[in-house]
């Protein structure tokens, strides 16, 4: 149910953005974000990041008005190039630091004092904020190119927080963050007392907000409560919409039957009228008047039933529009099945690898042994060696194995899905291949377009198809941070596919909800060796 505040903190009125190519990114969009913390969700490609950039002032709309309350701090999903820069540059405090150094050396130029403004303690605040995000060891002069992807995001967030904005905009901030870094970010979200809008597929982050704004079909609808409340409300809406569709379809069928019955009755009347005319039982003038009246009555009768049928069909169309058309992956993969006792992996465990069990804490292991269709989650801080371990497992697997890498680069950008899979799965006919791809929700022109034109979710399903449909079928499947850059619907689709996979599964992920959905039964963690 819409829950617009009487005085929204941020509003967009009839906002349109047209790219130079003529493509419309947003078309007369209205949106209102109440005070507090808002999660902005929606399918990839619906314009979430574009809307955030417009609110931030990074993009000017082609038409429409955006109103903001206070100053805005914005953390984009794709950070700018940082070659040749240091941490202070990323924080946006280099000019202030330089002015402070010159003042400390005795210079009295008024421009230096203007540059510092009220930020005499900016270095102390920067170090304190970095420390709060778990980056206390990072020096301000450290070259930016030495930072990991997760460190880069948290440093950029620190720079935004140092601006003391009234409004904080975050675009997919948990991408590339390990579990520790995510927990630090969650604290920032939870403690934020101003206005916050976060675009994210991270359900844990979305559980910390006060309302969810969904961008769907070119409009924004706000749901009160966090992500769990949003899912419940959407489920209730869908149940009501399904009832409306059933009722409307029943009414259409009733009106069709009434129309058919009416046609039968009218035909009987016409036959009776013709019979009376042939028998000439009444004067001609009376028969003609009766005929005209019958025709007028029949016309009104037909019109009434036609109107009722048209109205019933209209009600059915309106009810169907309220139904979400989110498909479900339904693919059978019997060739991936494994006997329970089959040894899949038996290798020396790398230093720092532990098994995590409920109630016993982490237990160091000397050999990594995987048997049968085990489902294993591999966690650990960035840089601990998770990806390296996956490569080692792939090299020494005792069964056919495939990997879905984080960058999704196993298919050439200029290949089509169909051409690539035809080469990788020659045992399948084109018809069989199209059917299997359709089961993974890759249909129509999606399979004949270059891979580079696919959305993140479509590309993931194409890479997954390339891994699952080849011969021999993989009985060990490894995925490295598969939910990064996916919208919530695509994450759900991935979970559906993996639940149908019958082989051994090893997944590197920090998405606890996703790991629960794919029914992980064994947890491993690797700790970085200092």
In a domain, 114, yes or no: no
Q: Please report the pLDDT score of residue 301 as a whole number.
A: 57
- Structural domain containing residue 274: 234-322
Say whether both 67 and 156 belong to one domain: yes
Say whether both 369 and 490 belong to one domain: yes
Query: In degrees, to the nearest 5, what angle opens at C-alpha 175 toward C-alphas 174 and 176?
Result: 110
Say whether both 344 and 384 belong to one domain: yes
- Domain endpoint, select from 197, 225, 253: 225
Alpha carbon 467 to its chain centroid, in Å, reads: 22
Say whether both 77 and 210 belong to one domain: yes
Q: Please report the pLDDT score of residue 280 as a whole number.
A: 57
Positions in the chain short of pLDDT 50:
1-6
Alpha carbon 30 to its chain centroid, in Å, reads: 21
**Which helix or strand (DSSP H or E) is residue 167 part of?**
strand 167-171
Say whether both 221 and 238 belong to one domain: no
Q: How far apart are CA 449 and CA 415, in angstroms?
A: 8
Residue 192 sits in a domain of what CATH number?
3.40.50.300
Strands 72-75 and 167-171: parallel
DSSP line for 32-79: EE-SSEEEEE--TTSSHHHHHHHHHTSS--SEEEEEESS-EEEE-SSP
Query: Could you report how far apart the first and last alpha carbons of the chain are, in Å?
Result: 52
* Helix axes 227-279 and 284-321, enclosed angle (nearest 10): 170
CA 133, 139, 141, 145 dihedral sign is negative
Cα separations (Å) of 104 from 97, 107, 486?
Answer: 10, 7, 49
Say whether both 211 and 239 belong to one domain: no
Phi, psi (5° rounding) for residue 150? -65, -40
Query: In degrees, to the nearest 5, what angle opens at C-alpha 390 toward C-alphas 388 and 396?
Result: 105
Residues 6+ apart with CB under 8 A from 370: 343, 344, 345, 346, 376, 476, 504, 506
CB atoms within 10 A of CB 95: 12
**What is the pLDDT of the chain when averaged over all its residues?**
87
Counting beta carbons within 10 angstroms of the beta carbon of residue 137, is it exposed (0 to 12), middle (13 to 18) or buried (19 or more)?
Answer: exposed
Say whether both 402 and 518 belong to one domain: yes
Residues 6+ apart with CB under 8 A from 404: 410, 460, 463, 464, 467, 477, 478, 479, 480, 482
Say whether both 195 and 176 belong to one domain: yes
In a domain, 101, yes or no: no
Residue 451 near residue 413, CB atoms below 8 Å: yes
Phi, psi (5° rounding) for residue 66? -120, 130
Residue 57 near residue 142, CB atoms below 8 Å: no
Q: How far apart are CA 480 and CA 506, in angstroms?
A: 9
In a domain, 31, yes or no: yes
- Domain endpoint, select from 283, 298, 322: 322
Say whether both 305 and 340 belong to one domain: no
Convert the pLDDT of each residue in 166-208 to its tens digit.
Answer: 999 999 999 888 888 899 999 999 999 999 999 999 999 999 9
In a domain, 125, yes or no: no
Cα separations (Å) of 145 from 120, 180, 181?
Answer: 28, 21, 19
Q: How far apart are CA 394 and CA 399, in angstroms?
A: 10
Instruction: Report which DSSP code applies to 117.
Output: T
Give the torsion through C-alpha atoms of 388, 382, 170, 93, to 10 deg.
Answer: -120
Cα atoms in the Cβ-side hemisphere of radius 13 Å centred on 502: 11
In a domain, 211, yes or no: yes
Q: Please report the pLDDT score of residue 4 as a whole number.
A: 41
- Domain endpoint, select from 161, 195, 225: 225
**Which helix or strand (DSSP H or E) is residue 362 part of?**
strand 361-364
In a domain, 123, yes or no: no
Cα separations (Å) of 418 from 65, 335, 424, 435, 465?
Answer: 44, 21, 10, 11, 10
Residues 6+ apart with CB under 8 A from 517: 492, 495, 499
Cis peptide before 195 (omega within 30 of 0): no
In a domain, 353, yes or no: yes
Instruction: Report which DSSP code applies to 479.
Output: E
Query: In degrees, to the nearest 5, what angle opens at C-alpha 492 toward C-alphas 488 and 497?
Result: 145
pTM score over 0.85 = no
Phi, psi (5° rounding) for residue 524? -120, 150
Say whether both 59 and 168 belong to one domain: yes
Q: How far apart are CA 285 and CA 495, in angstroms?
A: 78
Say whether both 202 and 280 belong to one domain: no
In a domain, 457, yes or no: no
Say whether both 157 and 50 belong to one domain: yes
Domain count, the chain: 3
Residue 70 near residue 21, CB atoms below 8 Å: no
Q: How far apart are CA 51 and CA 488, in angstroms?
A: 18
Residues 6+ apart with CB under 8 A from 274: none
């Amino acid at each position: 149910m819409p829950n617009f505040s009487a005085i929204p903190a941020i509003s967009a009125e009839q906002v349109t953005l047209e790219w130079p190519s003529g493509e419309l990114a947003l078309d007369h969009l209205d949106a209102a974000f109440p005070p507090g913390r808002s999660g902005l969700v929606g399918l990839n490609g619906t314009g979430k990041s574009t809307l955030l950039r417009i609110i931030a002032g990074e993009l000017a709309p082609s038409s429409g008005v955006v109103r903001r309350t206070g100053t805005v701090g914005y953390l984009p999903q794709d950070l700018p190039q940082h070659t040749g820069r240091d941490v202070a540059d990323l924080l946006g405090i280099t000019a202030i630091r330089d002015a402070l150094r010159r003042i400390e050396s005795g210079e009295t130029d008024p421009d230096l004092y203007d540059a510092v403004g009220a930020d005499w303690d900016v270095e102390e605040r920067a170090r304190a904020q970095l420390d709060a995000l778990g980056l206390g060891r990072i020096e301000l002069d450290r070259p930016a190119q030495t930072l990991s992807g997760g460190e880069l995001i948290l440093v950029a967030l620190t720079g935004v927080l140092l601006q003391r904005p009234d409004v904080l905009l975050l675009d997919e901030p948990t991408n590339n963050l390990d579990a520790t870094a995510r927990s630090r970010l969650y604290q920032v979200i939870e403690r934020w007392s101003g206005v916050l809008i976060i675009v994210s597929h991270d359900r844990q982050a979305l559980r910390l907000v006060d309302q969810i704004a969904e961008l769907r079909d070119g409009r924004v609808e706000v749901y009160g409560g966090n992500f769990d409340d949003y899912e419940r409300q959407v489920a209730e809406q869908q149940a009501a919409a399904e009832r409306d569709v059933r009722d409307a379809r029943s009414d259409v069928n009733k009106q069709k039957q009434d129309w058919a019955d009416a046609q039968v009755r009218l035909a009987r009347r016409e036959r009776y009228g013709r019979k009376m005319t042939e028998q000439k039982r009444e004067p001609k003038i009376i028969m003609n008047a009766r005929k005209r009246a019958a025709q007028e009555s029949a016309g009104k009768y037909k019109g009434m039933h036609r109107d009722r049928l048209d109205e019933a069909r209209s009600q059915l169309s309106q009810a169907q529009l309220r139904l979400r058309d989110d498909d479900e992956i339904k693919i059978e993969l019997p060739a991936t099945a494994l006997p329970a006792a089959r040894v899949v992996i038996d290798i020396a465990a790398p230093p720092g690898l532990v098994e995590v069990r409920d109630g016993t804490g982490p237990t160091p292991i000397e050999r990594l042994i995987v048997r049968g269709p085990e489902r294993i989650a591999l966690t650990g801080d960035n840089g601990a060696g998770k990806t390296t371990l996956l490569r080692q497992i792939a090299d020494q697997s005792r069964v056919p194995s495939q990997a879905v890498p984080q960058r999704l680069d196993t298919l050439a950008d200029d290949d089509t899905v169909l051409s690539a899979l035809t080469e990788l799965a020659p045992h399948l006919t084109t018809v069989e291949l199209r059917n299997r791809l359709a089961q993974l929700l890759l249909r129509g022109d999606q399979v004949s377009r270059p891979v580079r034109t696919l959305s993140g979710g479509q590309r993931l399903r194409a890479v997954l198809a390339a891994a699952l449909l080849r011969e021999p079928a993989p009985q060990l499947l490894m995925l490295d941070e598969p939910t990064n850059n996916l919208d919530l619907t695509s994450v759900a689709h991935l979970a559906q596919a993996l639940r149908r996979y019958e082989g051994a599964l090893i997944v590197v992920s920090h998405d606890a909800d996703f790991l629960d959905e794919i029914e992980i039964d064994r947890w491993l963690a690797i700790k970085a060796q200092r």
